[in-house]
Amino acid sequence: MSDPPTIAAPRRDSHAPTRFNPPPDACDAHCHIFGPADRFPFAPERTYTPPDSGLDEFRLLQERLQLSRAVFVQASCHGTDNRAMLDALQRGEGRYAGVAMVDESHTDSDLDEMHRRGVRGIRFNFVRHLGGQPDMSRFHSMVGRVSPLGWHLELHFDAVDLPDYSDVLHALPIPFIIDHMARVKASDGVDQPAFGALLDLMRSNERAWVKISGAERITATGPPYEDVVPFARALIDVAPERVLWGTDWPHPNVGEMPDDGDLVDLLASFAPDESDRNRILVANPTSLYEFG
């Protein structure tokens, strides 16, 4: 029998977008597949146990949100066992891409097979509550191994730690993405040094990308997350061609479960100009994840 969940399930009553109609091929570039645990067990070393949140449920949500494509990011609760994510990619028949978590047990043949199924990057957690800095020798070893595949890195940081990794990030030979606006605290304002470090990184490094996701994580005021808008707009202004957006469904470890329809609507405030929204939803993910 599976262990009981330790975190909340996502909302099943999210509303459809009300502020704009997403364009064809719009992509949710940050979401997760959890379980089902009886088929794809969670990692023994996980720090939380989510409820099953699988592809069938996600497809219903995408239809409601008027989104067509998605990027499934491997989460720490599944560790380096990517089978649930890879199964979703296989069933998606080209509509989805993936970001894996890997270690030395994965052979080059394993990586080639992941690439064939739609994986285009690997993820590393640097966030303190998820274990903090990974083994950096393994980190650099894996960078070298995935570079010939044309993959990128997905990096999960706490914003206050970004300056400590400035040299590491600028030395990376492949593109990398900073998740969730580096989890900046909206309550500290756009002038906070941590956010300044993120803006400087986006200005100075053409390999740096950022996801303007996680509004429900960094807000101080809650829905409709208007206090997050200045942060997203500043990042779009700096590097609109290297910005991605996602829901982060099914929202593991959040304080208050969001309505995913609110998160889609929020993009109208992040990017009031339709051409910017279309770039973020279609052109940028198409380029990075090789859709189509």
Let me know if 248 is a catalytic residue.
yes
- Burial (CB count <10 Å: 0-12, 13-18, 19+), residue 132: exposed
What is the 3 state secondary structure string of 161-213? HHHHHHHHHHHCCCCEEEHHHHHCCHHHCCCCHHHHHHHHHHHHCCCEEEECC
CB count in 10 Å sphere of residue 241: 12
Strand pairing of 152-156 and 119-125? parallel
Given the residues 158, 248, 262, 265, select the one marked as catalytic. Answer: 248
Cα within 13 Å of Cα(265), Cβ side? 16
Query: Could you tell me if residue 152 is left (phi over 0), alpha (psi between -120 and 50 degrees) or otherwise beta?
Result: beta
Which residue numbers are catalytic? Answer: 248
